[in-house]
Every structure is written in structure tokens, then in C-alpha cells.
Structure 1
Amino acid sequence: MQTSTSVFGKRCGGLLGLLFLFLLLSAPKAQAQTWLVSTDPFVKIGVSDKFGQLGAYTAKFTVSGNGKEYSLVKQVDKGQNGVDVLFPSPPTEAEFFQTPAGIAANASPGNYTWQCEVNGKKVAGGRFVMPTVANDVTVVERNR
């Protein structure tokens, strides 16, 4: 003997199946492949205590350009010797390039200079050009 619960369950299951089938059949058909595209330029800057004579040290990277100055301080542990950083670094990171007011750096096109101070003394520096970037999207038609 069947109970009303099992009959009710079968009916709900059947209705859910029909609803799912209806949703699949009513989904809009894509006319072409669609892509999301992003391009992010960055520069990798690094310093290294070549012979490991310092032990642990603090490296302060400063990047100047477009009328703004950004800095990032990294602690280098004994035995690590060197450190690399990315400019601009994502503000989602625990440590990122920022202005004294805490505003994150962005990849604005232009000329930049950089320097690195270790324990308060300038040890390296240079310059780079942040490029202008653009994306091209190709529409791929679906085969019919």
C-alpha cells in the first residue's frame, strides 16, 4: 500500500523534471562565442644582496611617475638574499604600492623612475615606460 507521501514525492519529482527540461529548451541560443578579455601591464623590480652579507633587511621600493609617488616596504629574511616586487601590485595583496595617503597604484601609461633603499640607503634605481594597452576581440561565428 502506497502512502500519500510517496505519491506526493513522485508528483513533485516529475514536475521538477518537466521544469528543468523546459528551462533547457527555452535557454537562448548563442549566436557566437563570447569572450571576456583583460590586459594588465606591470613591471617586475627586484634587488638582491648578491653574497648574502646583510642577513635580514628592509627594502623600500619607491616608484614615481605621472606626478605621483608610490612606495612598498618588504622585509627580507636572513638567507633569502633578495626580493622581487610587481608594479603596480594588486591592492588585494597584503602589501601593495600606495601613496602616503593609502591610494593604490594603477598602470597609467607614462614614464616612471624607481629606486630601492635598504636600511635607509639607496642601493638601486632605474626607469621604465608603462605602455598603453588595448584589447581586440574576434567574434567566432557558430557553425550551423
Structure 2
Amino acid sequence: MASLSTLFLSGGLRRYAAAAALVAGALVASPAKAQTWMVSTTPYVKLGVLDKYNALGGYSAVFIVTEEKSNKQFLLTKVVAKGENGVDVFFPTEPSDPEYFKNMAGLAAQPTPGNYTWECRVNGKRAVGGHFVYPETGNDVIVVGSAKR
């Protein structure tokens, strides 16, 4: 009569070894595929206004960004609640955001590289402003392949 260990070694281990060899062979025999990456670069400019001493309580802040070349304007209104003293926004804002920079026709800002000016009107009066250069960006895609043997 055969021992339990002899049966395990003769049947179970052989089947496991055969399955492992089959999987290893499939991995070695499968053709190598190149990896392709998708890439995106989107710059944002952070604009902000702050009531340093919280003298106003709550207020309405209207950010106006103007592209100097075309004179196109984009607006975003934020309400600052009483007890909060400031707000920061990003230009451009994603159109999926419920509050986004848009022109007078309601279209989302699609900024182009170039010079911009901005201002923030608090309760209808110009409070702060400035200028920035929206950068041009580029992307490189590298395809990584395997060497043929």
C-alpha cells in the first residue's frame, strides 16, 4: 500500500508543476506589447481676495479676467459668507464646476497663451487686480517597447 506522501508527490505535485509550466510558457510565448501613455497639462492661475480684518462681514466678489489681445472678458462671482474673510479661485475653472469663469454669453473660458489682466469687484467696487501671463504648454509621449531577441 502506498503512503499518503507518495500519492501526493506522484499526483498532486505533478499536476501543480504541469499547470505552473503551462502558465510560465504562456507568459513567455505571448507577444510583447508597447505601453502607450496619455498625457495632459493644464496650467491654472490662482486669484484671490481677502478682507484682512473681516470688516465687511459677508460680501459678493466678482472676478473679471480679460485677455489683452482680444479683449475678451470672463467673469466668476463668489459669495463670501459672514465670518469668512476671503476666497481664492482658479482660472480657468473647469466647465463641469457649477461656478465657472464664463463670458457674457455664458460660454466657459477657453484661455489661450498670452497676457491677461484681472480685477475683483467687491460689492460692485474694484478692490484688487493684477496681471499674469497664461503659459503655453506641450506634452511629450514616449512609447516603451521591448527589445526583440
TM-score band, normalised by the shorter chain?
0.7 to 0.9
- Indicate yes or no: 2:130 matched with 1:126: yes
Q: Following the alignment from structure 2 to structure 1, what is the Cα–Cα distance between the partners of residues 98 and 91?
A: 14
Q: Following the alignment from structure 2 to structure 1, what is the Cα–Cα distance between the partners of residues 55 and 31?
A: 65
Larger Rg: 2
Q: Which amino acid aligns with 2:86?
A: G
Q: Following the alignment from structure 1 to structure 2, what is the Cα–Cα distance between the partners of residues 99 and 75?
A: 19
Displacement of 1:106 after TM fit?
1.4
Contact 1:33/1:142 (<8 A) preserved: no
**Change in 2 beyond 3 A, CA 1:126/1:32:** same
Q: Following the alignment from structure 2 to structure 1, what is the Cα–Cα distance between the partners of residues 124 and 74?
A: 17
Contact 1:59/1:117 (<8 A) preserved: yes
- 4+ residue runs over 3 A deviation: none
**Change in 2 beyond 3 A, CA 1:137/1:122:** same
Percent sequence identity over matched residues?
53
Q: Following the alignment from structure 2 to structure 1, what is the Cα–Cα distance between the partners of residues 81 and 32?
A: 53
| Ranges in structure 2 where 5+ consecutive residues have no aligned partner | 1-26
* TM-score of the pair, normalised by structure 1: 0.77
- Count, aligned residues: 119
Q: Following the alignment from structure 2 to structure 1, what is the Cα–Cα distance between the partners of residues 40 and 80?
A: 32
* TM-score of the pair, normalised by structure 2: 0.74
Bigger strand fraction = 1
Displacement of 1:88 after TM fit?
0.7
1:23-70 deviations in Å (ceiling 9; x for gaps):
xx9xx9552111110011110000111111111100000000032000
| Ranges in structure 1 where 5+ consecutive residues have no aligned partner | 1-24
RMSD over aligned CA atoms reads 1.9
- Indicate yes or no: 2:81 matched with 1:93: no
Contact 1:40/1:107 (<8 A) preserved: no
